[in-house]
């Protein structure tokens, strides 16, 4: 086991060395290529920064205003009918927009119900099998300059519904 714990200490520098050595052997200006890629990466970050800030502010406002609690109480009875605890409704909603905000809600759920409860287990499974849909779509489509998303949103919503359903099933089995 000790050898495995030090495996990445050796592999990661070896990969970096291989990349640089390959570039030198192929007569590529490695440092200049690195700088060009870093410059393009910073340009991409600058392009998507307003979207990121907008999403983070919106989720912060929803959380601070009490809207998420209201949403949980409003949709709670419907969710309870399909074995989703009402406390999970805000998490499911926020997870669509921001994983970091959802992580804050996860910590709140763990404090209130405990990580080994039905809500805690379902929370853990839900967080690992769903995606921050609107964040991911906005970032990747903006970076790739995609204007027609076609069936991306319906397909992604269907996969989140499947992930949520499986978190109910799996948490119920544990």
Whole-angstrom distance, CA of residue 174 vs CA of residue 172: 6
% of the chain with per-residue pLDDT over 90: 47
Whole-angstrom distance, CA of residue 101 vs CA of residue 53: 13
The answer as to whether 50 is a domain residue is yes
The pLDDT, as a whole number, for residue 170 is 92
Between CA 145 and CA 39 the distance in angstroms is 18
Q: CA torsion, points 50, 52, 58, 61, in degrees to nearest 10?
A: -100
Q: Does residue 118 form part of some domain?
A: yes
Residue 136, CA distances (Å) to 64, 96, 123, 171 in order: 23, 9, 20, 26
Q: What's the confidence (pLDDT) of residue 1? A: 57
- Is 114 within the bounds of a domain? yes
Expressed as residue numbers, the domain containing 145 is 46-173
**CA–CA separation, 160 vs 87, rounded Å?**
18
Decide if 4 is inside a domain: no
pTM for the model stands at 0.68
The more confidently predicted of residues 101 and 21 is 21
13 occurs within a structural domain: no
The 10s digit of each residue's pLDDT in 102-117 is: 888 899 899 999 999 9
Domain contains 11: no
Residue 154 lies in a domain: yes
Task: Give me the number of domains the chain comprises.
Answer: 1
Per-residue model confidence as pLDDT tens digits over 34-82: 999 999 999 988 888 887 788 778 877 887 898 888 888 899 899 999 9
Measured distance CA(72)–CA(69) in Å, rounded: 5
């Amino acid at each position: 086991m000790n050898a495995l714990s030090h495996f990445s200490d050796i592999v990661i520098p070896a990969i970096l060395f291989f990349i640089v050595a390959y570039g030198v052997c192929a007569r590529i200006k490695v440092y200049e290529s690195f700088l060009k890629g870093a410059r393009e990466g910073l340009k991409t970050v600058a392009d998507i920064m307003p979207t990121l800030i907008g999403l983070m502010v919106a989720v912060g406002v929803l959380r601070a205003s009490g809207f998420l609690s209201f949403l949980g109480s409003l949709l709670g009875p419907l969710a309870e009918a399909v074995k989703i605890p009402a406390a999970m409704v805000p998490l499911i909603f926020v997870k669509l927009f921001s994983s970091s905000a959802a992580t804050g809600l996860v910590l709140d759920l763990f404090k209130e119900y405990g990580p080994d409860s039905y809500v805690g287990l379902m929370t853990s499974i839900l967080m690992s099998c769903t995606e921050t849909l609107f964040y991911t779509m906005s970032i990747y489509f903006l970076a790739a300059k995609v204007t027609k998303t076609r069936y991306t949103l319906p397909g992604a919503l269907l996969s989140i519904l499947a992930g949520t359903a499986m978190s109910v099933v799996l948490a119920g089995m544990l």
